[in-house]
Amino acid sequence: MENVYQMAGYTLHLIPTKKFKTMTISLRLQSPLLKDTTTIRTLLTFVLMAATQDYPSTQSLATYLDENYGASLSTHITTKGQSHIINVATSFVNDAYLPSPEHLLEKQLQLISDLFYHPYLDNDGFHPSIVQLKKKELQEKLQANKDDKFSYSLDKLFEYMGRGQVLGIPSTGYEEEIQNITSQQLYQYLQKCIKEDEKHVYVVGDLPDDIVNVFERILKFPSHCHDYPSAYIFESPRQDLLEVIEKQDITQSKLNLGYQIQCDFTSPSHYAFTVFNAIFGGFSQSRLFKVVREKHSLCYYVSSSYDAFNGMMIVNAGIEANDYRKTLHLIGEQLADIQAGHVNNDELYLAKIMLVNALKKTNDEAGSMIALAYNRDITHIRETSEEYIEKLMNVTLEEIVDVAKKVELDTIYFLTGKEFHESH
């Protein structure tokens, strides 16, 4: 159950429920994902939550949040296909569980408003002390991400597969551009976000009766309505399969495969592809896990994921360097098998109930409830969870085979040890 209100410069979505002891607010700002703005937008998410005029340092802002019974405040940056999304979120304990009323809703909402309208400034830019600190933090975070070989190899797959396209633009920006951004440019970019980004606000929890008035009073943005594109179908400009092998001093090799699929979140075949992915590699009951892990003991993890916003699919596995060809072969064999129509009703049914169960579980977690609602809101898909489940349940074996036939391996990125030798 979700109530929607058109407010000053944003859409407010209220999801009332008494089952949580906290209230969660999430403000999402959408703008196109562009090569030129990805770094500044990422840096802004770091600088934005670092300080305000009233709390002009990490320490003073953290002290304020402690006082508010450990209320959280965070910003994240992600992509939704062709869109670059900033998420500003807070969650805090409902007054009913506190010794005395603290009015945390008003306080935290005011804080979010202050991030945008009363940041800690110096002349006509963010305060340089904050910007310098956050540049360093972003730089170090990008470095640490690279040291995580799982996410590094996945980023590399996107980089190679999406070269020259939106898929190849890193959602967290380019390391080498960070230092050149000035405090003034960053503040000007904030003004642009306030004016031009498409905004949705979600609130989940035991909501007070006057909540709409509270938002009306505290949070305002300039009236503006933009429809930015998000989901799209990835299409490769290349004809041939791209195979990239990189060597590092590591123990376990990371295999990452990128596929073209001719389907995205808004396609009629979206439901069939969702079920196909569940059969192929989405769960621990899926083909890939059963065959590559359980039958051949080649890995600890292997799975496929359907990226419905980039309209593509990835498969990843951690394996022994020597098992590279064998693993590739087994994965290819499973895909070919489904494409050839070798898939039965038991598999189909199992995949569907796993998906339905996973969907129902999102109802018990505020963050997932918001994520689900947001996906539908930015793609303008008006669909209840019941309708979605019905469409999933109606998917037939023929449709599975049809979507499988459109799946085509596009890029292989293999991160392996120094001792790796290709032997055919």
**Contact residues for another protein (CB under 8 A)?**
17-22, 57-59, 62-63, 65-71, 91-93, 97, 133, 136-137, 140-141, 143-144, 146-149, 248-252, 283-285, 293-294, 296-301, 318-320, 350, 353-354, 356-358, 360-361, 363-366
Q: Can you state the percent helix, strand and coil of the chain, rounding each to 5?
A: 45, 20, 30
Whose Cβ is closer to another protein: residue 47's or residue 378's? 47
Whose Cβ is closer to another protein: residue 61's or residue 312's? 61
48: left (phi over 0), alpha (psi -120 to 50) or beta: alpha
Residue 223 CB-density burial (10 A; 0-12 exposed, 13-18 middle, 19+ buried): exposed
Minimum CB separation of residue 416 from another protein in Å reads 11
Minimum CB separation of residue 154 from another protein in Å reads 14
Distance of CA 202 to the CA centre of its chain: 16
| Alpha carbon distance 301, 316 (integer Å) | 8
CB–CB of 49/75 below 8 Å? yes
* 216 token code pair: 């009306």
> Which residues neighbour 241 within 8 Å (Cβ) at sequence distance 6 or greater?
409, 410, 411, 412
Buried b (16+ CB within 10 A) or exposed e, 60-70: ebeebbeebee
Whose Cβ is closer to another protein: residue 4's or residue 358's? 358
Considering only CA atoms, give the Rg of the chain. 23
First CA to last CA distance, the chain? 57
Whose Cβ is closer to another protein: residue 263's or residue 415's? 415
| Alpha carbon distance 106, 102 (integer Å) | 9
Minimum CB separation of residue 220 from another protein in Å reads 28
Minimum CB separation of residue 420 from another protein in Å reads 14
Minimum CB separation of residue 25 from another protein in Å reads 14
Whose Cβ is closer to another protein: residue 148's or residue 235's? 148
Whose Cβ is closer to another protein: residue 179's or residue 191's? 179
Pairing verdict, β 3-7 and 302-307 = unpaired
Minimum CB separation of residue 255 from another protein in Å reads 12
Whose Cβ is closer to another protein: residue 80's or residue 352's? 352
* 292 token code pair: 């590559």
Minimum CB separation of residue 407 from another protein in Å reads 23
